[in-house]
Amino acid sequence: MENKGLWAFGTRQVVYGAIGAALYGAFSLLTNLVPLPAAGNITFRPAVAVLIFFGIAYGPWVGLLAGFIGNTLGDMLAGWGFYWNWSLGNALMGMIPGLAMLMITNYRNKIDIAKAIGWGAAGVAVGMMVASLTEMMVGGIDLNTALVGYFTPAFIGNLVVIVILLPILMVAFAAVNARRGR
Partner 1 sequence: MLVSWKYRPRNTFIQRLDPRSRLIFLACVILSLTIPNIWDIRLIFPLFLLTLTLYLLAQIEWKDVRRAWLFIFFLIFFIVGLNGMLSGRGGPTSVMNDTSAPLFTLPVYFPGTTWGFSLEITLVRIVFAITQMTRMLSMAILALPLPYTMDPNIYGVAFRKMGVSDKVSFTMDLAFRFLPTLARDLSITIDAQRARGYEMDSLKGGIVARLRRLAPLIVPVTMQSTVTGEEVIDAMDLRAFGTAPRTWLKDLHFARRDYLFIALGVSIFVAFCVLKWGFGIGEFWIPPALVAGLN
- The single-letter code of the amino acid at 140 is G
Rule CB under 8 A: choose which of 122, 145, 148, 159 binds partner 1.
145
- Give the per-residue contact string, 80-99, with partner 1 (x = CB under 8 A; - = no): xxxxx---------------
Residues 15-34 that bind partner 1 (CB under 8 A): 15-19, 21-23, 25-27, 29-30, 32-33
Total of chain residues touching partner 1, rule CB under 8 A: 63
Q: How far is CA 46 from CA 8, 147, 169, in A?
A: 28, 21, 12
Give me the least distance between CB of 110 and partner 1, in Å please: 18
Contact stretch for partner 1 (CB under 8 A) within 78-86, 91-99, 106-114, 123-131:
78-86
CB 150 within 8 Å of CB 135: yes
The vertex-182 CA angle with 167 and 27, nearest 5°, equals: 40
Rule CB under 8 A: choose which of 5, 6, 7, 77 binds partner 1.
77
Q: Could you write out the DSSP letters of every residue in 12-34?
A: HHHHHHHHHHHHHHHHHHHHTT-
181 sits near partner 1 (criterion: CB under 8 A): no
d(C-alpha 118, C-alpha 166), whole Å: 11
- The single-letter code of the amino acid at 143 is L
Give me the least distance between CB of 3 and partner 1, in Å please: 10
Name the CA radius of gyration of the chain, rounded.
16
CB atoms within 10 A of CB 170: 23
63 sits near partner 1 (criterion: CB under 8 A): no
Give the residues lining the site for partner 1 (CB under 8 A).
1, 9-19, 21-23, 25-27, 29-30, 32-33, 35, 39-41, 46-47, 49-50, 53, 57, 65, 69-70, 73, 76-84, 138-142, 145, 149, 160-161, 164-165, 168-169, 172-173, 176, 180, 182
